[in-house]
Chains A and B, each alone.
Chain A
Amino acid sequence: MTIPALATAQRPLVTLRRIGAARTRRLGVLGVASASLIVALALVAVLAPFIAPHDPNALDLLHPFAGPSPQHLLGTDDTGRDLLSRLIVGSRTSLLGPLLVVALAVALGVPLAIASAWRRGPVDAVLSRVLDLLFAFPGVLLAILAIALFGAGLPAAIIALAIAHMPYIARVTRAAAIRERELTYVESLQVHGFSGLAICFRHLLPNLGPLIIAQATVSFGYVMVDLAALSFLGLGVQPPSADWGVMVASGEPSILEGHPQQSLYAGILIVAAVCAFTILGERLADPARAPSRG
C-alpha cells in the first residue's frame, strides 16, 4: 500500500528563534538547564577520543590513587589510570546503551500502540493483555535472565531492557492515540478517502510525537539506571572498558581504604545525567503541572 501524497497544506512559518523562546517558557529554567547538560554530555560522548587527555586504559602502577594535579585533573584510580579520561570515554557506553534501548522500545511500542488504537477490538484486547503480562517482569530481572542465557555484555542487556520498557511507551502512546482517533479531523480525512495507514503515518504519528518524545526521555533516565546497575553487577559492560556503572563497581573495594573518588565521580555523573533526563522528560510531558519554582 502506498501513502498518497497529501495536498500541501499551508503551514504557518515558524522561525527557529520563536520556537526557542516558546521552549524556554515551557521548560522553565531547570528544564533548559537539563537540556543543556544532556547536550553537553552528548558532545563529550561524541568527541571523547579527542578531548580525553590520556589513554583511558593506560596503567601507571607507580602512581595509584594520585590526587588532583595539572597532569591528572581528577587524579588516578587503583592502577594509576587517569580518572577524567575514563569518565569522558565512559560516557560513550553509558549514554549509547540507554539510547539504543529507548530507540528499540519506541520502534517496537509505538507501531503496536497505534495499530491497536486504530483497530480496537480483538487486536487491542490481545495487545493490552500482552502489555499487562510484560509489566509483571521487572526489567532488571528479565535482563539478568537474558544474560544468564546469552552471556554477559551489552547486547543481551539492551534487547531485554527494550522489551521490558516497551510496555510503558506503548501504554502512553495507545491512550493518546485513542483520544486522537476520536477527533474530527481523523473522520474528515477518512471521508476524503485517505487510507488508515496514511492517516496514522502522516497525521496521528506527528501529533503524538511530542508525547512519545517526552515519554522516551523519562524512560531514558530509568533505563540508564538499569543499565548502569547491570554493569555495576558485572553483567553489562565488561571491565577494563570505561563505563560509569563499571567504574562505580571497580572503585568500591578502594572506598574502605580511603579512596572513594572513582566510585563517587562516576556515581555523581550517573545521578546528574538521570536527573537531567527525568526533569526534562517531566517538563516535556506536562509543562503546566511541573513545579513553577526553579
Chain B
Amino acid sequence: MRIATFIAGRLAGLAATLLVASFVVYGALYLAPGSPVAVITGGRALPARTLAAINAEYGFDRPFAVRYFQWLGNFLHGNFGQSIVFRQNVSTLVAARAGTTAFLVAYAALLIILLGVLLGLVSALRQGRTDTTILGITTVGIATPSFVAAIVMISIFTLGLHWFPAIGAGTGFTDRLWHLTMPAAALALAGTAYVARLTRSAANEELAREHVDTARGRGIPEPLVIRRHVLRNAMIPITTVGGLTVASLIAGSVVVENAFAINGLGSYLISSVEQKDFPVVQAISLLLVTAFVVVNTVVDLLYGLIDPRVSMTGASR
C-alpha cells in the first residue's frame, strides 16, 4: 500500500512536470518577437493555401487555452504537426532519427555505468599511486566537454590510428556499433569520471564501516566482502547519481551528434533551429525533455524501492 502511494505520488509529479514543460514549449511561440504564425513559418512567404492550413492546424482563431490543449492532444497522439522545410509530418521525420539517438545514449550509458563503477572501485581499493592517477584523470574528465573529447578522439583515432570513422552512424548493428563507439565515448567521458568519483567516495565510506571489519574478521574472502558488503551498500548513491548522469546524456547527445555528423534527433534539432523550422524544434525539445524527466522519475522510483530507509510518504526531496 505504501509502495502504491509512493509510486502514485511520483507519477503525479511526473505528469505535472510534463504538463508545465509542454506549456513552456508551446507558450514559447508567443514569447518570440512577431506573430506566432510568423514564428512557425520562420518568416517565409508561403502560399495562401499553406498559411490557411497552418492557421487551421494551430487554430489561431480560437482562445489560447483551447489552442494549447488541442496542440497537446495532437502531441499525445503522436501528431507533431508539419515540418515547414520538408512539408512532411514531423512525427515521420523524428521517428526516422530517434533510433540512432537512442542507440547512442544507451551505448554511452552502458559505458558510464560499467567503466565508472569499475574505475571508482579500483580507485577505492588501490590506495596510493593508482588512486591518485585515477583521481587526476577523473578531475580532467569531468571538466572535458563532449565536443572537446570528440575532436581529441578524432585527432588520435581517426587521423592518427585510422581505427574509427569520424562521421556518420553506420547501418546494421555491428557497423553502427563501430561508428558510434567514438561518439558514445565522447558523450560518456564526463559522466564516467563523475560516477567513478562518486563510486570511490561511496566505497571508501563503506570500507571504513564496522560491518566490513566484522565480515573480514569472520574470515569471509575479500572478493565476497567487496561484493556483498561494500559494493551492495555503495550501489544506493551510485544508482541515484548514475541515473541522473544518464538522464543528462539525452541533452548531451545534441552536441555529440553535431560533432560527429550523426543524423539523429540532436543534429536535426540544430539544423531545424538554423532553418527556422519551429514545429520540429518544438517536437524534439518536448521529446527530449520528456525522456529526461521520465528517466529521472524512474531513477527516483528505483531509489525508493532499493533503499527501504527512504521515506515513502510521497514527500519530494
Contact = CB atoms under 8 A, between A and B. Distances in A.
A291 B258 CA distance: 36
Given A141-B254, A256-B159, A275-B139, A133 B17 contact: yes
Given A149-B32, A256-B154, A271 B273 contact: no
Interface residues of B, number: 55
A229 interface: yes
A198 to B, nearest CB: 32
Nearest to B128: A293
B293 A136 contact: yes
Range for the number of chain A residues in contact with chain B:
35 or more
Interface in A140-156: 140-141, 144-150, 152
A235 interface: yes
Interface in A21-39: none
Nearest to A293: B132
A136 B292 contact: yes
Nearest to A131: B317
Interface string B271-293: 01110101001000100110011
A252 B259 contact: yes
A263 interface: yes
Given A140-B251, A233-B270, A278-B142, A149 B28 contact: yes
Contact of B269 (A144, A229, A260): A144
A264 interface: yes
A163 to B, nearest CB: 11
B25 interface: yes
Interface string B17-39: 10011001100110111000001
B316 A263 contact: no
B13 to A, nearest CB: 8
A279 B259 contact: no
Nearest to B255: A229
Contacts of A40: none
Contacts of B258: 232-233
Given A137-B289, A150-B33, A279 B151 contact: no
B147 interface: yes
A171 to B, nearest CB: 9
Contacts of A255: 151, 154-155, 158-159, 166
A196 interface: no
A172 B112 CA distance: 27
B248 interface: yes
Nearest to A267: B148
B143 A274 contact: yes
Contacts of B32: 149-150
Contacts of A232: 145, 147, 255, 258-259
Contacts of B145: 225, 228-229, 232, 267, 270-271, 274
Given A136-B21, A144-B270, A145-B25, A270 B148 contact: yes
Interface in A262-294: 263-264, 267, 270-271, 274-275, 278-279, 291, 293-294
B24 A137 contact: yes
Nearest to A282: B139
B245 interface: no
Given A136-B296, A144-B285, A260 B151 contact: yes
Given A141-B289, A145-B28, A234-B274, A221 B143 contact: yes
Contacts of B285: 141, 144-145
A248 B146 CA distance: 12
Given A140-B255, A147-B273, A149-B32, A275 B140 contact: yes
Contacts of B8: none
Nearest to B297: A136
B281 A141 contact: no
B288 A141 contact: yes
Interface in B284-317: 285, 288-289, 292-293, 296, 316-317
B305 to A, nearest CB: 21
Nearest to B256: A229
Nearest to B13: A132
Interface of B: 13, 17, 20-21, 24-25, 28-29, 31-33, 39, 132, 135-136, 139-140, 142-148, 151-152, 154-155, 158-159, 166, 248, 250-252, 254-255, 258-259, 269-270, 272-274, 276, 278, 281, 285, 288-289, 292-293, 296, 316-317
5 contacts: A145-B28, A233-B270, A248-B147, A255-B166, A267-B152
Interface of A: 132-133, 136-141, 144-150, 152, 221, 225, 228-229, 232-235, 245, 248-249, 251-252, 255-256, 258, 260, 263-264, 267, 270-271, 274-275, 278-279, 291, 293-294
Top 10 A-B residue pairs of the complex, sorted by shortest distance between their CB atoms: A138-B251, A267-B148, A149-B32, A274-B143, A275-B143, A260-B155, A263-B151, A225-B145, A148-B281, A148-B273
